[in-house]
Structure 1
Amino acid sequence: MGDGKASERGRVDRVRLALWLLGILAGAASLWVLQAAASILIPLVSAFFVAVAVAPVGRWVRDRVPRRLSWLGLAASMLLILTIIALFFGSIALVAQRVAEDFPQYADALGKLWAKANHWIQGAKADLTAQAGQGSADQGSGQGNAAPVDPITGFAKAALSSAGQTVSVLVMTVFLSLLMQMEAPVWREKIIITLGRERCRMAVEAVTAIAQQFRRYLVVSSVLGLITGALYVGWLSLFGVDLVLLWGFLAFLLNYVPVVGSVVAGALPVLLTLATQDAGTAMAVAAGLLVIEQVMGNFVAPHMQGKQLAISPLVVMVALLLWSWLWGAAGALLAAPMAVLIAITLNHAEALRPFAIFMSDQSDRERFDAHTRPE
């Protein structure tokens, strides 16, 4: 009798182990597909988030015009998208013009700073090699005299080479979001026919919750970005740092990228200050920017995002690393929205709800459910 129970338990354990292994293999295959199909999935996912972000505008217009003019809702949504794009690229053009005008006077200072840093790095390598007995003093001095690579030129070439690809992805995203909004009612009927009304209701509920949370994330991130950018401009102006509008604009844009964005936004003006002024001023600038990021990130942001879906900070960081690895810069921008999307989707599937709880920083399931249901 005991042997029979032990044998049955052993078979159950083997089945569970096989299921776990299959799950791991399926996850690895999914990651490979996501990376291999990045050129297709990036505009598709971006279009989905754009479509759900502007959907209330189209719905508001459609509810206030005659039925025969319902197309004005779609036109209003697309006009809003094009206006935001125009403002974005217009701001970039103004900043780029300013940078182009002032860049020559900073190129020499930044080049000298890079040369000093490169010389220090090569010297440290030579010292470590000498201590380990793996090199000679001559080799170390030869490395120290090597011509430093100009990072500014390399960055400019990389930016120009990726500009065409960025524009093509943007155009594809706009057209896909237009098609999604046009065919949304048709797809709802298709889901009803294929899956039934109950499953269609659950799917619509999940999409509605995702849309609401994403719009909240977008609004809160935009407000936080504007406040952070204004604080950057004010603090940097006190020390006479050049290109303050550029740094404020970058702080606004990079606010949409969790953790890493604030590091990059703060490091760049500090490097320029170090290259054009003294180390003490650079340290003061860095201290002020660190205080701004800490206050905005640890106090203001949690208060403003109180009604937003609570995703664990650890999960957000892991999502940032994962999607950046899969999709590059686009993945970094989409990391937080994708984490929200995955958490809500998992919470609407009964068998997968435990995974959704792990993604949240809520320990109370009822509170978490309240955050993942449409209002």
Structure 2
Amino acid sequence: MHAAQSIVAPAFFALTLVVAGRPVQRRLVRLGMHRMLAALLVLLALYLVLAVLAFALGWSIAQLSTTLPQYGPEFEGLYQTVADWLTSLGVQVADIDQLLGVVDFNSILGVVRRAASGLSAVGAQVALLVVVMFFLALDSTDTTSRRALLARARPGLSAALSGFFVAVGRYWIVATVFGLIVAAVDVVALYVIGVPLAVTWGVLAFVTNYIPNIGFVLGLVPPALVALLDGGVSSMLWVVAVYSVINFTIQSIIQPKITGDVVGLSPTVTFFSLVFWALVVGPLGALLAVPLTLFFKAVLVDAHPDARWVDAFLVTAAAAEKPGVAEPVAAAEPTVVTDDGGAASAEPGPESFPDRQEG
């Protein structure tokens, strides 16, 4: 997976997005819309959401590239003040003047410029994401027979994957709703404090909300630094205080509680998932940490009754108390969900297993 991360990450991301849109697609089919038309409408809606997000990110990076150079003198003055303070405390800072010549504001601007140029580098992954979503949407118009086959051959895996599809769809919905709430509140608060680029920091807060555990910190540091350069220490402290009260309360207390109820993963597992999947599939793994963990939990744990004991180390206490977590999956008469939202029996017949046919 690490060697093929440029393929695995966008392809899995596409799968989770299409899965998240499946409930809407089935609802449209039940209302009488043709399956193909319903799939295309949901696909276009997903494309629109991705396009708006990409435009917002590109606009934010452009704003940073044009605005941050204005704070070059303030940054160098701040660096000199810190260096003088360290010297007064007896800390040996060798060749401070030389350091000032190396560590300047342009080094920070270089990060922003590299991020802007990196947008073109991920163009291939974006194209792969768009194409895979299209083919998955086409396949989603007729899945009844494939689900029935899987339910006949591997009922436990079929039930586990059905649970994964439901959980990952709810996860994206919860993360998006809370991200919008956090971004809106942050923009209003930053406007009141007088921090420049308030909308840009709102977009950053929305995106980092998808990153478990450390998203709050990643969204706090840039606006706090700009507030320090623009308004001084008091402005920075106000930003830190507002973010700590609003973002920490929403992102680190309320959202994990609801997310935990939806996906059932403990906070510790969520954090290690972030570290692990970012290492395996790259930066996109930080956004896909929870969905990837849910997928492999479904395939390796939930699908096998003998492996259900592993859930004791993965799920929250509330999830562990739910019925069926540590119970074997019944293999008799599995049921699958049809493409129109109804149920169909997938009871295996003799033709399903030729090697078991009676003589």
Alignment TM-score, normalising by the size of structure 1: 0.75
Determine if contact 1:266/1:286 at 8 Å carries over to the other structure.
yes
Instruction: Report the Cα offset of residue 78 of structure 1.
Output: 1.4
Aligned partner of residue 172 in structure 2, secondary structure: helix
Flag the 1:104–1:368 CA change in 2: closer, same or farther, 3 A.
farther
Instruction: Report the Cα offset of residue 112 of structure 1.
Output: 4.4
- Separation in 1, partners of 2:11, 2:322: 31
State how 1:357-372 maps to structure 2 within 5 Å: 357-362=312-317, 365-367=320-322, 369=324
Q: Deviations over 1:39-91 (max 9, x none)?
A: 2211221121112111223222333336xx43102211211111112221333
- Separation in 2, partners of 1:143, 1:101: 27
Given candidates 43, 64, 71, the residue that maps to 2:36 is 71
Task: Give the residue type in structure 2 aligned to 1:248.
Answer: G
Query: 1:62 maps to what in 2?
Result: 29
The alignment's C-alpha RMSD in Å is 3.4
Query: 1:49 maps to what in 2?
Result: 16
Given candidates 54, 67, 77, the residue that maps to 1:102 is 67
Flag the 1:370–1:185 CA change in 2: closer, same or farther, 3 A.
farther
> Unpaired runs of 5+ in structure 2?
330-335, 338-359
Query: 2:265 maps to what in 1?
Result: 311
Query: 1:147 maps to what in 2?
Result: 102
Is residue 265 of structure 2 the alignment partner of residue 321 of structure 1?
Answer: no
Aligned partner of residue 71 in structure 1, secondary structure: helix
> Unpaired runs of 5+ in structure 1?
1-33, 130-138
Aligned partner of residue 204 in structure 1, secondary structure: helix
Query: 2:344 maps to what in 1?
Result: none
Q: Deviations over 1:256-276 (max 9, x none)?
A: 101221101111111011112
- Separation in 1, partners of 2:119, 2:221: 24
Determine if contact 2:157/2:302 at 8 Å carries over to the other structure.
no
Given candidates 335, 351, 356, the residue that maps to 2:311 is 356
Query: 1:251 maps to what in 2?
Result: 205
Flag the 1:145–1:94 CA change in 2: closer, same or farther, 3 A.
closer
Determine if contact 2:35/2:141 at 8 Å carries over to the other structure.
no
Instruction: Report the Cα offset of residue 101 of structure 1.
Output: 5.0
State how 1:1-375 maps to structure 2 within 5 Å: 34-65=1-32, 69-96=34-61, 98-99=63-64, 101-113=66-78, 119=83, 127=91, 140=95, 144=99, 146-148=101-103, 150-184=106-140, 189=145, 197-199=152-154, 201-302=155-256, 304-305=258-259, 307-345=261-299, 346-362=301-317, 365-367=320-322, 369=324
Flag the 1:307–1:370 CA change in 2: closer, same or farther, 3 A.
farther
Flag the 1:154–1:123 CA change in 2: closer, same or farther, 3 A.
farther
- Separation in 1, partners of 2:287, 2:70: 32
Which of the pair is proportionally richer in helix?
1
Determine if contact 2:2/2:281 at 8 Å carries over to the other structure.
yes
Task: Give the residue type in structure 2 aligned to 1:316.
Answer: T
Q: Which moved more, 1:177-186 or 1:215-224?
A: 177-186
Task: Give the residue type in structure 1 aligned to 2:38.
Answer: G
Relative contact order (alpha carbons < 8 A, sep ≥ 6): 1 or 2 greater?
Answer: 2
- The number of residues matched between the two structures is 328
Instruction: Report the Cα offset of residue 93 of structure 1.
Output: 4.5
Flag the 1:368–1:213 CA change in 2: closer, same or farther, 3 A.
farther
Instruction: Report the Cα offset of residue 320 of structure 1.
Output: 0.7
- Separation in 1, partners of 2:323, 2:120: 42
Determine if contact 1:239/1:285 at 8 Å carries over to the other structure.
yes
Flag the 1:330–1:120 CA change in 2: closer, same or farther, 3 A.
farther
- Separation in 2, partners of 1:324, 1:361: 23
- Separation in 2, partners of 1:174, 1:75: 13
Flag the 1:165–1:56 CA change in 2: closer, same or farther, 3 A.
farther
Aligned partner of residue 367 in structure 1, secondary structure: coil
Aligned partner of residue 293 in structure 1, secondary structure: helix
Structure exhibiting the larger radius of gyration computed from Cα positions? 1
Alignment TM-score, normalising by the size of structure 2: 0.78
- Separation in 2, partners of 1:58, 1:364: 28
Flag the 1:128–1:165 CA change in 2: closer, same or farther, 3 A.
same
Instruction: Report the Cα offset of residue 98 of structure 1.
Output: 4.2
Aligned partner of residue 262 in structure 2, secondary structure: coil
- Separation in 1, partners of 2:84, 2:286: 32
- Separation in 1, partners of 2:326, 2:71: 49
